Chain A
Amino acid sequence: MGKAIRVAYGEAVAKLGHTNDKIVVLDADLSGATQSKYFKKEFPDRFYNVGIAEENLMGVAAGFAYQGFIPFASTFAVFGTGRAFEIVRNQIAYVNLNVKLALTHSGISVGEDGGSHQSVEDISLMRSLPNMTVIVPCDSIETEKAVNAAAKFIGPVYLRLARPAVEDITNPDDKFEIGKALTLVDGNDACIIACGLMVSRALEAAKELKTSGIDTAVINMHTIKPIDKETILKYNSKCKVIITAEEHSVIGGLGSAVAEVIAGTNGSKFAMVGIEDKFGHSGNPDKLFEEYGLTKENIIKKVKENL
């Protein structure tokens, strides 16, 4: 098992602090959970806890960005994108400020804490904001690269970070570029475009499909916005079916973003694997993934149905 994505974030931003003194980290009383505690330990005077006040977290982060700093603001995804939405909209996205929203505990993989803490709508919310970049790393290796890329990029970035430990599926020498999808497996019959924790399931599905003679590509779409249109259109014209897979509502997430690209193109057939307009609930994350159809089996089923 690799490192948890949130731990990879905490370590990466703490490391970055050594080479970039413009970086400050803010949290809203969750530094032990978001793992911003690593930065706090290394740079206590560049770490700011605003208390349980997510709106103020985003406003204060904006203030730092106006003054030329690179603030990473951390809390849970449901609070950072939901409760603080309008501050993110008006003070960060609208002004195109250089704030990084490093929000953890996204999706139903939060598990036992239940539906109140599981964001199923956060990608949709952030993706709809002009100026906002949205990145969903799939493992700890990619998370470190995403944190570094976000820090270099000038403008607001939402890093959607998951809570659990996951297998590392990308390689340290894979190139990470914002807006450029990573083709993990090439294929000619079907194409699975996945992000976050669904990338590993997409790889497993493709492997199994291959044994039944269906040549399946897997695309790791780590940047949801700006979406890599070129890669999508390439597979849209060569494959008979495109399936998206995400740990997020099918309304407004990765699937919607891909659909927006291929709508009206007369290309592949298209279907989505994602959360079907429901909230989550308490439970073991693996069990929840099964219940919500976020599985290898469901991806395979959708591919076969549409071939």
Chain B
Amino acid sequence: MDYKEKAKELRRDIIKMLYLAKSGHPGGSLSELEILIALYYEVMKIDPKNPEKEDRDLFVLSKGHACPGLYAVFADKGYFPKDDLWTLRKADSKLQGHPDSHKTKGIDVNTGSLGQGASVSVGLALAAKRKNLGQKVYCLLGDGECQEGLVWEAAMSASHYKLDNLTFILDNNGLQIDGTNDEVMSLGNIKSKFESFGFKTFEVDGHNVDEIVKALKENVSGQPKFILAHTVKGKGVSFMENNVGWHGKAPNEEEYNLAIKELS
């Protein structure tokens, strides 16, 4: 299926949410979008009408700050009404600045403090094996996030426990708050790092839904999976693309109009 128009629509939602909230994280929300589309429209076993279904697949947005992207997907999938999106970050909103499983339907795990989602994913996947309902666990990591030591504690345990029901996906947009990954703290060969930690690794164009879906559907046995997804931070809005400054700020009116025009 072609998701080009859907992606544009969701990107417009993201921009509008942040514009109305007057804060938030556009760069990572735009870079991760096709990964979320692959998961929620093609791969994951979910039921938006029954978001806590016992045997559902689980998703952990370990890079929790990029939740506007997830919220846009959730509204489109019917977890909650689309109008809720325009309340993002407000005091009475269901949509918190970082994912909150108690407040927002569809959120499986609270995240926001980096590295922790990876660790919780390992617990979810171990528990899934115990429950034996065929649940799969998907965890989306940021590249800068991999500077957190906990990611590697989690990676080591995922492989030790042969968690073939767990997939780590890396939104590799190359930028973080203080600059490029290489300026701040080089990740080196991140794919080979996960490979040496015992993951079966894949590499995809992170804006090509078909490629992502194909990698997500690859059968792996006896080891966890790692998908390196090459993405562009701020994807779809020319002045945000590959621009460190757009990690965590909202567009003003002029920028909002410009972005919406580009995404129409």
Contacts and interface: CB of A to CB of B under 8 A. Distances in A.
Contacts of A7: none
B243 interface: no
A112 interface: no
B150 A87 contact: yes
A96 to B, nearest CB: 8
A113 B229 CA distance: 47
A90 B156 contact: no
B153 A64 contact: no
A155 B160 CA distance: 29
Contacts of B160: 51
Contact of A55 (B101, B123, B153): B153
Given A69-B130, A87-B119, A56 B112 contact: no
B210 interface: no
A95 B102 contact: yes
Given A87-B116, A90-B110, A56 B122 contact: yes
Nearest to A54: B153
Nearest to A53: B153
Given A60-B126, A63-B127, A69-B127, A91 B116 contact: yes
B131 interface: yes
Contacts of A60: 119-120, 122-123, 126, 154, 157
B119 A66 contact: no
A302 B121 CA distance: 51
Interface string A199-233: 00000000000000000000000000000000000
Contacts of A53: 153, 156-157
A48 interface: yes
B88 to A, nearest CB: 20
B119 A59 contact: yes
Contacts of A95: 101-102, 110
The secondary-structure label for the interface of chain B is helix
A276 interface: no
A61 B102 CA distance: 18
A86 B113 CA distance: 9
Interface in A51-89: 51, 53, 55-56, 58-69, 71, 86-87
B78 interface: no
Contact of A66 (B109, B113, B156, B161): B109
Contact of B112 (A66, A71, A90): A90
Interface string A13-41: 00000000000100000000000000000
B170 interface: no
A82 to B, nearest CB: 15
Contacts of B157: 50-51, 53, 56, 60
A61 to B, nearest CB: 6
Contacts of A50: 153, 157
A153 interface: no
Nearest to B98: A90
Interface string A125-160: 000000000000000000000000000000000000
A69 B123 CA distance: 10
B7 interface: no
Nearest to B148: A55
Nearest to B155: A56
B108 interface: yes
A67 B160 CA distance: 20
21 contacts: A51-B156, A55-B150, A55-B153, A56-B150, A59-B118, A59-B120, A59-B123, A60-B122, A62-B119, A62-B123, A63-B120, A63-B121, A67-B128, A69-B127, A69-B130, A87-B150, A90-B110, A91-B113, A95-B101, A95-B110, A96-B102
List the 10 shortest-distance A-B pairs measured between CB atoms, nearest first.
A63-B123, A59-B119, A67-B127, A56-B153, A60-B123, A53-B153, A63-B124, A63-B120, A90-B113, A64-B127
Interface of A: 24, 46, 48, 50-51, 53, 55-56, 58-69, 71, 86-87, 90-91, 94-96
